[in-house]
Amino acid sequence: MKKLKLFLGAALVSMSLSVFGQSVTSPNGRLSVNIFLTEDGVPMYNVEYDDVTLVSKSALGLNTSVGDFSKGLSTDKVSDVVSVSDSYTLANSKKKNFSFTANERTFSFSKGKDKAFDVTFHVDDNNVAFRYYVKPQGDRLSCIVNSELTSYVMPNGTTTFLCPQMVPQTGFARTTPSYETFYEYDAEMGKNGNGHGFTFPALFKVKSVSRHLPTKSDKRRTSKVTEKTYWVMLCETGVDGNYCASRLMCDGNRYTVAYPEDTEFGGVGTSSPAIMLPGYTPWRTITVGETLAPISETSIMWDMVKPKYEASQKYKYGRATWSWIIRMDASCNYNEQKEYIDFAATMGYEYVLIDALWDTQIGYDKMEQLVAYAKSKNVDVYLWYNSNGYWNDAPQGPRGKMHRLLERRQEMAWLKKVGVKGLKIDFIGSDKQVTMQMYEDILVDANDFGLEIIYHGCTLPRGWERMYPNFISCEAVRASENLSFGQHDNDIEALAATIHPVLRNAVGNMDFGGSALNKYYSKDNKHGKKRITSDVYALATAILFQTPVQNFAVAPNNLQDAPDWAIDFMKRVPTTWNDMRFIDGYPGKFVLLSRQSTDGKWYLAGVNAMAEPMKATLDLSMFDAGQTVRLYLNGKVTEVKVNKKKTLPVVIPSNGGVVVM
């Protein structure tokens, strides 16, 4: 059988060689991309890992205003394989030290006598990234990219873990799409979300079945079937004002890159991006692994981009108290914010986040006093802003301060003068190029005024941790506010916590705003939506959900009504990390992951979303044998000595968690 497979493989290669047929293989030789050209002149590629096809033959190409580069193409030239490597550090991401070695190869295509585009493939041991470089056409030095043909045909039997794209201009005050729908777990292919496709990042489980014919020595003469599972994550990176962000449309088992919808952003701005020529499109990324570790730990989002400007200063990270999540809009008044500043000081937190309506409920003058008061308590201030604008109806103020350069810079000058350190900017539901430009412009201006930026009700960051040094995070997830709004989100809270650390958080910082210790989402902690997860779960998600500035949902009353060990943990929990390791997990069931903080301490955290308690043997290899570690489990903390095998058997309750530190 093996021989037959080799022969078939060779036949395929030689057949494709006649039309094009070249490959790029990863440094370790296991991951490869093969490029083909069909008889109709359509460029295609596939992705193989250990000879198992993870992405079947799929189209490449662009349809632009200066030419249809999706068919009728001919091959121009193929570069040599070039080895590229880089190392860099990030202070605001899931790890500190990043490095990669990859092989790159560029394939050039022409249409007629004119050069159309190059596609460069970058292949490391677990990641593929590729992008187009569109050539000038005669004297045409710019173009609109009407559509992109890039697709991902997934092998039969693949199941999906996808987040449906939201319908534009729906939801609260026409603020969508903002990446806030529920994931489906292990769903069959073929559904196109709610008719509008899916958001990045997208996760697929590919099954490979191989049959081994009986050998002569096998007396029973039965053929053996082995089934292996591979994980594939699709995303994109390096998206800025030079392009739009994209989503995936599904047709059967083919997922195709799609641009934003016309109706996004109130219909303002084009859905198709425009670029200067010659010019690049963003990087499309494919991350693969036999386990979820290469997905969860990937650095491809940052490997492919470069910082776009210098940080104007050293930005400070940390924890914030945040009244809005428990007490909502009414709490954004002077006295309650003072209470939350005092609470932040008691917790030893670096920040307080003052949310919507402060402009009218506190006012600009009193805000100056409040920021000064916070400073006297060694607490810095983040202020909330409404992004709009003319593309939605969100009424909360301050409004109209962030979308235009003049008002924005005037406002930021005041913020700097007063001593505000960061902004949380809400309601920017669009992926159009005009919106990407606004995301970038706000970050650039904010850096001039020493402001950190959190985006909320927004798109997914695509390499932004490295591109913009004052970027903190994006929401782009069905986040904690929904726990305050609806019971259903609480009932399935743990489910989402099993996927975010391996998928959403794999590609970018995530402003979730979780770790509530209240039993109920209300000021008196007696009414409102009921939290069904445990207190250890709250601690575990403080580790599992990563962003360098965490707006925690803890409340002042928790100093009295939450267990001392939980408050003590939340006082000490770090938000910046040297390193991380995915340990085990299955989206929709459980996750176990460890992170090493920038002071060198390891934290292992896990949650169980299954209906039954889960037996697990924790891998404590990041600790020393004989070392005493603290185990948070079953509503208490105990000290445990690490055994020689560095393992620890535990039973994690349903809707509960575990933390070892």
By beta-carbon proximity to Ca ion, the closer residue of 175 and 321 is 175
Max CA pair span of the chain:
88
Helix (H) or strand (E) run with residue 559 in it = helix 558-561
Nearest CA among 26, 2, 126 for reference residue 506: 126
Q: How far is the CB of 39 from Ca ion (least distance, A)?
A: 48
Determine if 168 is a binding residue for Ca ion (CB under 5 A): no
Which phi and psi angles does 638 have, rounded to 5°?
-130, 160
* Nearest-angstrom CA–CA distance, 556 and 339: 8
Q: How far is the CB of 54 from Ca ion (least distance, A)?
A: 33
- The residue whose two tokens read 């390891």 is 602
Q: How far is the CB of 478 from Ca ion (least distance, A)?
A: 8
279: cis peptide before it, omega within 30°? no
By beta-carbon proximity to Ca ion, the closer residue of 176 and 361 is 176
* Nearest-angstrom CA–CA distance, 357 and 354: 9
By beta-carbon proximity to Ca ion, the closer residue of 284 and 456 is 456
What's the length of the chain?
661
By beta-carbon proximity to Ca ion, the closer residue of 457 and 528 is 457
Q: How far is the CB of 171 from Ca ion (least distance, A)?
A: 9
* Nearest-angstrom CA–CA distance, 93 and 506: 10
- Token pair belonging to 134: 């569109």
By beta-carbon proximity to Ca ion, the closer residue of 61 and 457 is 457
Nearest CA among 175, 181, 242 for reference residue 387: 175
Binding footprint of Ca ion, residue count (CB under 5 A): 1
* Nearest-angstrom CA–CA distance, 273 and 432: 8
- Name which of residues 84 to 123 contact Ca ion (CB under 5 A): none
- Token pair belonging to 476: 């782009």
* Nearest-angstrom CA–CA distance, 30 and 45: 16
By beta-carbon proximity to Ca ion, the closer residue of 457 and 548 is 457
CB-closest chain residue to Ca ion: 457
Q: How far is the CB of 514 from Ca ion (least distance, A)?
A: 13
By beta-carbon proximity to Ca ion, the closer residue of 457 and 588 is 457
Q: How many CA atoms lie within 13 A of 558 on its CB side?
A: 31
Window 457-486: contact mask with Ca ion (x via CB under 5 A):
x-----------------------------
Window 431-460: contact mask with Ca ion (x via CB under 5 A):
--------------------------x---
- Name which of residues 130 to 149 contact Ca ion (CB under 5 A): none
Q: How far is the CB of 235 from Ca ion (least distance, A)?
A: 20
- Name which of residues 271 to 290 contact Ca ion (CB under 5 A): none
By beta-carbon proximity to Ca ion, the closer residue of 111 and 196 is 196
3-state secondary structure of 358: helix
By beta-carbon proximity to Ca ion, the closer residue of 294 and 457 is 457
Q: How far is the CB of 31 from Ca ion (least distance, A)?
A: 36
Q: How far is the CB of 439 from Ca ion (least distance, A)?
A: 16
* Nearest-angstrom CA–CA distance, 92 and 469: 8
Q: Rg of the chain over CA atoms, in angstroms?
A: 26
Q: How far is the CB of 471 from Ca ion (least distance, A)?
A: 18
Which stretches of the chain bind Ca ion, using CB under 5 A? Answer: 457
